[in-house]
Amino acid sequence: LRHDTFRIVLDRRKQTLADISGIIFKQVNTIDGLDYWIAKLQPQYQFIFVLYCGSRERDGLSWCPQCRALEEHLVEVAPTLPDDLVLIYVQVGTYEEWIDDKNAFRTSQSTHVQNVPTLVNFRTGQRLTEYECSNFANVDKFLYRLQVE
């Protein structure tokens, strides 16, 4: 029994947001991709959140430790979120691409992201950045409070 329980815990840790049912999840790595999904989903869904994170590496995880921790937390709370919540996961590039001042997500007027992770409520424009995203109580308040407004 212990062995089975341990195996289940290991399997759960491998889950990503793409594996979770109950939310609509899209993953993009370009501004055009982001614009496409926003345009397509905006008329149908009230709760659209955009999560900017360091790109995933070969192991399937972001190079950014705060992004990895936030994703693990979101996997845990996903079952409690409304079915019509959309999360668009934007990969901003490798570490080398991200630290380049000319990174498209840094320079674009539509995104203007300076830190990862950054979680944005698309409807209101409100955002949590970097260390604010490390406080999971803040993340939960952000997600739940904005749902009722």
Catalytic site includes residue 67: yes
Candidates 4, 1, 21; CA nearest to 87 is: 21
Catalytic site includes residue 64: yes
Enclosing domain of residue 61 = 16-148
- Inside any domain, residue 86: yes
- Inside any domain, residue 30: yes
* Both tokens assigned to 27: 């993953």
**Summary mean pLDDT of the chain:** 83
* Both tokens assigned to 142: 């952000």
- Inside any domain, residue 25: yes
Burial (CB < 10 A; 0-12, 13-18, 19+), residue 38, is middle
Residue 12: what pLDDT?
39
How many domains would you assign to the chain? Answer: 1
CATH number at residue 37: 3.40.30.10
Candidates 109, 118, 113, 120; CA nearest to 86 is: 120
How far apart are the C-alpha atoms of 134 and 66, rounded to whole Å? 6
Where do the H-state alpha helices sit in the chain?
A: 2-13, 31-41, 65-77, 95-99, 104-107, 136-148
How far apart are the C-alpha atoms of 103 and 98, rounded to whole Å? 6
pLDDT (average), residues 32-42: 93
- Inside any domain, residue 97: yes
Q: Which of 51, 64, 90, 119 is catalytic?
A: 64
Q: Which of 67, 74, 85, 88 is catalytic?
A: 67
Asked if residue 135 has pLDDT above 80, the reply is yes
- Inside any domain, residue 28: yes
Tell me: the pLDDT tens digits for 54-98?
999 998 899 999 999 999 999 888 888 877 788 999 999 999 999
DSSP 8-state symbol, 61: S
Contact 81, 87 (CB under 8 A): no
- Inside any domain, residue 3: no
DSSP 8-state symbol, 9: H
DSSP 8-state symbol, 54: P
